[in-house]
Structure 1
Amino acid sequence: MRVIHLTGKDFYGAGRAAYRLHKALLKNDVDSLMVVGEKESTDPEVINIQQSAWAKWRRKLMIKIEKALLKLTPGTLFSSGIYALRQTKRINQLKPDIVHIHWINRGFFDVRCLSKIKAPVLISMHDMWYYTGGCHYATNCFKYQSSCEGCIRAANRFTAQQVSQWQAIKSTVYQKTNQLVFVGLSRWMTQCANNSALLRHQRVVNLPNCIDTSKYAPTENPKQQLGFQSDKKLILFAAVDALSDANKGFALLEKALSFLSAERYELLILGDKGKKAFADTTFKIHNTGFVTDDDLLIKYLSAADVVVVPSLMENLSNMIMEALSCSTPVVAYATGGNGDMIEHQVNGYLAEAFSAADLANGVNWCLENDERQMTLSTQARGSVIKKFNEELISNQYLKLYQELTAPNEN
């Protein structure tokens, strides 16, 4: 069976999760290929179909056109899905049995081309985009449950009309697409999709991402290896654009620091190359910027005494899964898919949304004493091995692939 994973990148967020599934399927003797627009890995089974200068220029042009036409309120992550390149011919030439689609925005793939793919199509929803008019996270808006007409994030009437049209385009494309199945990576995402106007009549299944627990495992003496000499407990906050993306919740973490003792804790930040003027605090803060090396990230996760994920909305956070696999308890808000991974006061702490005080309570509770911290650490890793290991999850996806291809084989 040949599975083609279609995603904009083989790194960051959705690309990172897709790549892990791709590697897990290869270990399961599945003929898996990734088709991307930007490639960082040296994996020969990852094909960059937009590596030519011409393709790169066209994709950048598409992004600029979309940005110019979208008039939205500031801070909105939004994609039309149509100002993008069309790669259907190349995909069909690879003769896939299944095309597994992940994150396709930022000029990578025109959503209208879905219906031209000849193989059955599986779509993993890494955010809410596939059932909205264009926003990737709807936050406090529920228009996607009926119609995105009159989009609350549109800055003018023209843009609001466009959003409604883009939602209608998706609806038409989905109806024409061959054997289409959507995957909600978390129970929350699955429920939201089932409640949406676009997907309530489509098949939506709940299957999570996976992780290589043999690779993401605690390391020996990580603090010493990284040069942390203080006896203070280390709080880790890590995300792509950790300080600049409002959804990642640094503003709430910053407030939570006022409830925590600078004599007891230090803060480590990963994932933002920019500088930020921190609020008046006596906390010692280490800001290392982006960490692109997995082995180094694992050392940081192992060195942390607790990882805090204060995001406003998360589907199935890579960071939470990675931290737990490295035996580090996680404090996050009881929102989105966080509850799929964090069992409250078993392997971490689910704080009241969006309370800075309870976020701080979670840190204090997890690290109240060494015995509790050790128990949480053991249960953290055990929970990931039990629920998200490569063999388990790849077999579940393989079963779904076989189900979708069975009619064609017959």
Structure 2
Amino acid sequence: MVLHLSTFHLEGGAGVAATRLHRALLKAGIESNMMVHTSQFPEKNVTPLANTSWKNRKAWGRFVAERLYFLPQEKDKRVRFAFSPAAVGADISQHPLVLQADIIHLHWVNFGFLSLASLEKLFSLDKPIVWTLHDMWTFTGGCHYNRGCDHYVSHCSYCPFLAKPDRYDISFSQFEAKKRIYDLAKMALISPSNWLDNIVKTAALTKQIQSQSIPNCIDTTLFQPLKKTEIRQKMDLPTDKKLVLFAGANTQDPRKGFLYFKEALTRIDTRFNDLEVLIFGKANPQVFQDFPVPVHYLGKITKTEEMVDAYNAADMIVVPSLEDNLPNTVMEAMSCGTPAVGFATGGIPEMIDHQVNGFVAETKSIPDLAVGIQWVLDHNVNGKLSENAREKVLASYAEPVVTAQYLQLYESLLHG
């Protein structure tokens, strides 16, 4: 039995990716269970650690305690959730699901779910560990994305996320703790993108650990092309406009590059006033009041069917992330036959084949991002880019393709 451990169930990119893999394994006939910190969405084979009102309060308390631990040390509130000290977490080492598991599969486990002490107890069970990295935290002294800092290559200290960085700050101590507990584990590290796997292979904490790249998966029978005109009529959207989509769990996160997107739109040829924007995700609608083109804000979408409709309503998606791994939004859009435009960061260039199923723009270049948006508008008139986008997902990210790679990995860990 494979047991997936994830802080989130159907929230955030990491939680969604973990749940999709768990479901795909079940479809493939593999005994799979998932344990999450909390969940508001009951699902068979998904067990929330907090399954009573009292345990929910304890889970919230762990999250608060974790944040309070970091609060006096944070540089400013902009990095509040960008660094996890992993000082507070639950001991699940004797949980029945953990004891029954043949493989323990870690995903994103911060925010009070698992601490470094929790991980140490899991590793001490001597069960095979697979850890899918959804960001950089596994090999850093606490940050989820490094924002240009390369201390993790040798040893974290003098952390730029801290108010008072020094030689022996908490990034140093976390780095040391990880080094010690990783020696206990029979572990394989899996990166959804080649970009992240290449960093894993050079980072001081992980370069000696078995690692490889296996992408996230997607249900291509759910995320599939639909009739655009019918979807737009259903959503009360204009059928005679070009609709450009920006999507994300939090559109105001600077890492997602929303301001680059907004500025690039001012450089698009809008002589015929035929360009409008779709946006979904957590956002403040007031920021759309001075937008260069009309905006249709769809709010935060949680239902898969509504998400599929939004992707199908759009002519393209723009993902100008400054740091990212293998964005679900790109995969979801392309699976619906919607071409993508993005910066050449993280795993994005692995997903978008330049001028084949979208456009890869020079990182942080607003002019090049604008060129990419215009290029897709001009070159998808016959739907070829849409067709190529769908084919890329079927070949690389469809559930059977990804589960086969994980099954091979599980077998190698179990039988050596």
Corresponding position: 1:336 with 2:346: yes
Aligned-pair distance for 1:94? 4.5
**1:217 corresponding residue in structure 2:** 224
Match of 2:285 among 264, 275, 283: 275
Alignment of 1:386-405 (within 5 A): 386-405=395-414
**2:8 corresponding residue in structure 1:** 9
Corresponding position: 1:98 with 2:106: no
Q: Distance in 1 between matches of 2:168 and 2:242?
A: 48
Q: Distance in 2 between matches of 1:207 and 1:229?
A: 39
- Output the TM-score relative to the length of structure 2: 0.93
List gaps (5 residues or longer) in structure 2.
none
Corresponding position: 1:36 with 2:36: yes
Q: Is the 8 A contact 2:244 2:317 kept in 1?
A: yes
Aligned-pair distance for 1:92? 5.6
Match of 1:108 among 75, 90, 113: 113
Match of 1:88 among 85, 89, 93: 93
Q: Distance in 1 between matches of 2:157 and 2:166?
A: 11
Match of 1:324 among 328, 331, 334: 334
**1:148 corresponding residue in structure 2:** 156
Q: Is the 8 A contact 1:101 1:122 kept in 2?
A: yes
Q: Is the 8 A contact 2:233 2:239 kept in 1?
A: no
Q: Distance in 1 between matches of 2:257 and 2:168?
A: 27
Q: Is the 8 A contact 1:254 1:279 kept in 2?
A: no
Aligned residues: percent identity? 34
Alignment of 1:253-332 (within 5 A): 253-262=261-270, 263-278=273-288, 280-332=290-342
Alignment of 1:125-274 (within 5 A): 125-157=133-165, 161-177=169-185, 179-220=186-227, 221-242=230-251, 244-262=252-270, 263-274=273-284
Q: Secondary structure of the equivalent of 2:378?
A: coil
Q: Distance in 2 between matches of 1:130 and 1:239?
A: 23
Q: Distance in 1 between matches of 2:223 and 2:333?
A: 8
Q: Distance in 1 between matches of 2:187 and 2:88?
A: 22
- 1:262-311 Cα offsets, whole Å, 9 max, x none, are 51210111001533334734410111210001001001101100000011
Q: Distance in 2 between matches of 1:309 and 1:91?
A: 41
Q: Structure 1's 39 and 69: CA in aligned 2 closer, same or farther, altered over 3 A?
A: closer
Mean CA deviation greater in 244-253 or 379-388: 244-253
Length, aligned pairs only: 403
- 1:293-344 Cα offsets, whole Å, 9 max, x none, are 1001001101100000011111011000000000000000011001221100
Aligned-pair distance for 1:29? 0.7
Give the letter aligned to residue 88 of structure 2: Y
Q: Structure 1's 173 and 247: CA in aligned 2 closer, same or farther, altered over 3 A?
A: same
Q: Structure 1's 397 and 370: CA in aligned 2 closer, same or farther, altered over 3 A?
A: closer
Q: Secondary structure of the equivalent of 1:23?
A: helix
Aligned-pair distance for 1:260? 1.9
Report the RMSD for the aligned CA atoms in angstroms.
1.7
- Output the TM-score relative to the length of structure 1: 0.94
List gaps (5 residues or longer) in structure 1.
none
- 1:68-124 Cα offsets, whole Å, 9 max, x none, are 332223322110122222212115654101010000001011233333333211000
Q: Secondary structure of the equivalent of 2:132?
A: strand
Match of 1:355 among 360, 365, 368: 365
Q: Secondary structure of the equivalent of 2:169?
A: helix
